[in-house]
Amino acid sequence: MVTIKEFPKEEYLLKGHAACAGCGPSIALRLLFKALGNKVIMVVPACCTTVIQGPYPYTSFAVPLQNMLFEATGATCSGIAAALKIRGLEDITVVGWAGDGGTVDIGIQALSGAAERETNFIYICYDNEAYGNTGLQRSGATPYGAWTTTTPTGKKERKKNMPLIMAAHKIPYVATACPSYPVDFVNKLRKAREIKGTKYIHVLAPCPTGWRYDTSKTVEIGRLAVQTGIWALYEIEYGRFRLNPPSDRLIDKSKRKPVREYLAMQERFRHLTEADIEKIQQWVDEDWEYYQKLASNECV
Amino acid sequence: MAQIVIDTANHIAGYAAKAARVKVVAAYPITPQTTVVEKIAEFVESGEMDAEYIRVESEHSAMAACIGAAAAGVRTFTATSAHGLALMHEALHWASGSRLPIVMAVVNRAMGAPWSIWPDFSDSLSQRDTGWIQFYCADNQEVFDTIIQAYRLCEDERVFLPAMVCLEGFILSHTYMPVKIHDQEEIDAFLPPYKSGWILDVNNPFSHANLVSPEWYMEFRYMIQEAMENAKRLIPEIDKEYGRRFGFQYGGLIDKYKCEDADLIICTMGTMGCEAKIAVDNLRREGLKVGAARIRVYRPFPVEEVRKLAEQASVIATIDRHISFGMEGFLASEIKASLYHVEDKPLLAGFIAGLGGRDVTFKTIEEIAKKSLKWMEMGRVGKETVWVDLRE
Amino acid sequence: MPITPISYPTLGSMGKTGSWRTFRPVIDYSKCTKCTLCWVYCPDAAITRREDDSPEIDYDYCKGCGICANECPVKAITMQREEE
């Protein structure tokens, strides 16, 4: 178990980059490099990270990074992994780093294909629950009720459960994370690196610009997401489900903070009715019943 | 050891990928390309070909995987047709903008709607603006040789562009012909190990293709155009060298047949070029001075060669296996564009034929020739674009 | 120019992003316990860890988001409005 003080001091995301103040995905990026160092080749589709790099001829990233077409992250990683294998360079970690839109919507086919082909890479979806790069339109990962520019009265559909979709591919490692829990995320990345095959990590990455809260609250909101149970930290390793701290203690509903505390902090949920909030709370409770069954191996 | 095989152009494309020591193939099946990737799968799984074969889940992913592999430092190959090529469209742009020397076999097939599995050039010609070099082959030997030549061309530092090697579905893809597979050592001497203009490397980190403002973008596009101009110069040189080493060459950019003293030159692409040669011989027996020019390379377009051809001819007849709706056949347009600034221009008669795989034989071409010669007598073209063999 | 856009790692690819700030974080080192949480949570890598693990803010690049102040367990960081 590593501690924060043991994280290396080197930065591979350089300061002076183009992210919004308080950007959750940027914290996740720094943690990616704290975990894996710079012996990585990254594939980044169209997403916030495309812009965070800054404009040619400069980049804020000090690792080899291939910018790529929106849908193509999974397939491009398959290509790079194949080339590295042929060249005998399999100690370099191939990392697909994509937003939620490029993962659950337009990128899902290529990711599913790469997983089925058992491509040896780590795919990380950093989820700010909207199409951030293009100005915060809804994605399949936008939660029920959230304001976005294309769902101005609140999204009417539920959030697509991407980690469980990936688990159904029977890949060796699926995990959820949040940059508010840095040690957990770093451990998961390092564990993923040691496993051969397709590894999927879904990071909830709060976005002040899209979720409409004061920029200083990013880490606090991420923490609250976990404490209310609307986001659960877990791993599915070779099909075996395990909740991680502090989520492992939240099967007991009384230990979970009410979801309204999380919703109340974000202007994107300002218009929710009492009935909406109850519905959301009910869904969270149902999810946790399911996690309980998964944790006790009653189902897969 | 060189060997003669009797095989289809699709299988021959597989032989060529193997001979070119391709290291990553990423491909998705589509009629009539399927036997290319099946052959490659056989070669890879038997160990005859030392390569990774990525069985992608769509053509868009096929090109994306090739881009990834080429950027990570290996020679790549793929193949597709019609809607598969269309599905890759944005990735074609990405590949050429990334200056990656990917080679792809395009087994030409008509675009839908409606479904057609038979050949015409609507698939590859609609991709003419994507910055890919385009070769059009007339027989299976040429398919083999052109794929090898293409790698040599694309990996030249003055080029660094991707290339399509086009061959018509069923006419070539599924037709058996004898082909000489040259000696591997000699191919290795002609085609050195993979080289590209840049590589993803942990020891030299950079971001590739991040945002480029209007301040820089035009210069990058200009460099692609320059690379195309270089390719135009290099293709005939490479073809000649190949001819010296292996005994097969194809006239560089244009395969010319009896054009030197011709009144009428029949311009075609692909297998129609073979039929045109037969038509030329028949017409010459009747005393008519006719020649055939098969445009082997469509991009970069052989503007200077076309102007040379036009010097003595009084009429050029183009046969397009494609129509650009709302305008005319691409070959007709581009030949006219090439000749615009020429003082003494020949007449130009455009013919549309063979769409959706409708057969175009030497007999049809002879009729096209006779019609064009009649217009030459009249001193003007009767109709700028004629659709051949259309039902009443 | 390279033949295709290749961008090299650069400090301040967007210039001195410190100019984006309205509020600046100010550290009261007498309260700081050197827990390094502010360092780990800064989205901009604008906080470096000194030898003794105390934080040092690079005001050239700090965007003033306030996460460090919000997360500091002993409230050693306060956000103060930038003067004109």
Element (H or E) spanning B338, and its range?
Answer: helix B330-339
Angle formed by the axes of helices B34-46 and B9-19, nearest 10°: 40
Which positions in chain B touch A59 (Cβ < 8 Å)? 206-207, 210
CATH code for position B217: 3.40.50.970
Tell me which residue has tokens 């951030």: A132
Nearest 5°: phi and psi at A79? -65, -45
Could you tell me the maximum CA-CA distance found in chain C, to the nearest angstrom?
A: 54
Sequential pLDDT tens for chain A (300 residues): 799 999 999 999 999 999 999 999 999 999 999 999 999 999 999 999 999 999 999 999 999 999 999 999 999 999 999 999 999 999 999 999 999 999 999 999 999 999 999 999 999 999 999 999 999 999 999 999 999 999 999 999 999 999 999 999 999 999 999 999 999 999 999 999 999 999 999 999 999 999 999 999 999 999 999 999 999 999 999 999 999 999 999 999 999 999 999 999 999 999 999 999 999 999 999 999 999 999 997 655
Residue B209 lies in a domain: yes
Domain stop point among B225, B246, B267: B246
CA separation for the pair B52, B85 (Å, rounded):
22
Are A81 and A119 a contacting pair, CB within 8 Å?
Answer: yes
CB contact under 8 A, C5 and B210: yes
Q: Are residues B160 and B286 both part of a single domain?
A: no
Residue B267's nearest CA partner among B190, B321, B230 is B321
Coil, helix or strand at residue B157: coil
Encode B216-278 in three state secondary structure: HHHHHHHHHHHHHHHHHHHHHHHHHHHHHHHCCCCCCCEEEECCCCCCEEEEECCCHHHHHHH
Q: Where are the alpha helices (DSSP H) in B100-183?
A: 122-125, 140-154
Q: Which of B204, B227, B246 is the last residue of a domain?
A: B246
Q: Which of A12, A14, A15, A213 to mutate to test the interface with C (most CBs of C within 10 A)?
A: A15
Residue A227 lies in a domain: yes
Beta-sheet pairing, C55-57 with C47-49 = antiparallel
Total domains present in chain B = 2
Identify how many contiguous H helices and E strands chain B contains and give both numbers: 13, 16
Look at residue A243 and tell me if it is in a domain. yes
Helix ranges, A37-127 (H)? 48-52, 73-86, 108-116
Which positions in chain A touch B57 (Cβ < 8 Å)?
A: 75, 109-110, 112-113, 116
| Number of separate domains in chain A | 1
Decide: B217 and B272 in contact? Cβ < 8 Å.
no
Q: Which two tokens stand for residue B224?
A: 């692609």
Nearest partner of B324 among B129, B131, B138, judged by Cα: B129
Question: Are the C-beta atoms of residues B133 and B154 closer than 8 Å to each other?
Answer: yes
Residues B229 and B259 in one domain: no
Above pLDDT 90, what percent of chain C?
Answer: 98
ipTM: 0.97
Closest CA to B266 of B387, B167, B349: B349
Per the CB < 8 A criterion, the answer to whether B66 and B102 are in contact is yes
Report the C-alpha gap between B159 and B75 in whole angstroms: 15
Nearest Cα of chain C lies from the Cα of A220 at a distance, in angstroms, of 8
Q: Are residues B226 and B272 both part of a single domain? A: no
Q: Do C43 and A27 touch (CB under 8 A)?
A: yes
Residue A193: partners with Cβ closer than 8 Å, 6 or more residues away:
A35, A36, A93, A122
**B392: in domain:** no
Task: Report residues of chain B scoring pLDDT below 50.
Answer: none
Tell me what pLDDT residue B288 has. Answer: 97
pLDDT computed for residue B312 by the predictor: 86
- Residue B327: CB atoms within 10 A of its CB come to 10
B197 and B324 part of one domain: no
Count of A-B CB contacts under 8 Å? 155
Tokens of B31: 């009629």
Residues B263 and B381 in one domain: yes
Say yes or no: B101 contacts chain C, CB-CB below 8 A. no
What are C7-66's pLDDT values in tens digits? 999 999 999 999 999 999 999 999 999 999 999 999 999 999 999 999 999 999 999 999
Domains of chain C (ranges, CATH numbers): 17-81 (3.30.70.20)
Q: Would you give the end-to-end CA distance of chain A in angstroms?
A: 27
Residue range of the domain that includes A237: 7-295
Residues 6+ positions from A39 with CB-CB distance below 8 Å: A91, A92, A93, B202
Q: What is the CATH number of the domain that holds B360?
A: 3.40.50.920
> Would you state the pLDDT for residue A297?
79
Q: Note whether C13 contacts A11, CB cutoff 8 Å.
A: no
Residue B205's domain spans which residues? 3-246
User: What is the predicted pLDDT for the residue at A300?
Assistant: 56
Residue position matching structure tokens 């090697």 = B165
Shared domain check, B153 and B53: yes
Q: At A123, give phi and psi (nearest 5°).
A: -110, 125
Q: Name the one residue in this structure whose structure tokens are 């991680």.
A: A244
Q: Mutating which of B200, B206, B213 best tests the A interface, going by the most A Cβ atoms within 10 A?
A: B200
Quick one: DSSP state of residue A154? -
Peptide bond just before B113 cis, omega within 30 deg:
yes
Q: Which residues in chain B are closer than 8 Å to A116, comparing Cβ atoms?
A: 57
Of B232, B130, B174, the closest CA to residue B11 belongs to B174
DSSP reduced 3-state for A85 = helix
Per the CB < 8 A criterion, the answer to whether A166 and A127 are in contact is: no
Q: E-assigned strands of B119-212?
A: 133-136, 163-168, 176-181, 207-208
Cα distance between residue B299 and residue B125, in whole Å: 10
Measured CA to CA, the distance from residue B76 to residue B194 in angstroms comes to 9
Strand B176-181, strand B3-8: pairing? antiparallel
pLDDT confidence of residue C83: 85
List CB contacts of B369: < 8 A, sequence separation 6 or more. B264, B266, B279, B283, B288, B290, B317
Using a CB-CB cut-off of 8 Å, the residues of chain A touching B208 are 65-67
Nearest one of A168, A239, A176, A234 to A203, comparing CA atoms: A176
B279 neighbors B369 (Cβ within 8 angstroms) = yes
Does the residue B152 lie in any domain? yes
pLDDT digits (tens, 9 = 90+) for C36-52: 999 999 999 999 999 99
Query: In A, which residues are within 8 Å of C12 by CB distance?
Result: 14-16
- Pairing between β-strand B347-352 and β-strand B385-387 as defined by DSSP bridges: parallel
A110 touches chain B (CB under 8 A): yes
CA of A20, closest CA in chain C: separation in Å? 8
In a domain, B259, yes or no: yes
In a domain, A40, yes or no: yes
Residues in chain C: 84
- Confidence (pTM): 0.97
Q: Quote the tokens at residue A201.
A: 């990590």
Please identify, among B219, B246, B273, the residue that sits at the C-terminal boundary of a domain: B246
A1 domain residue, yes or no: no
Identify the CATH number of the domain in which residue A163 sits: 3.40.50.970
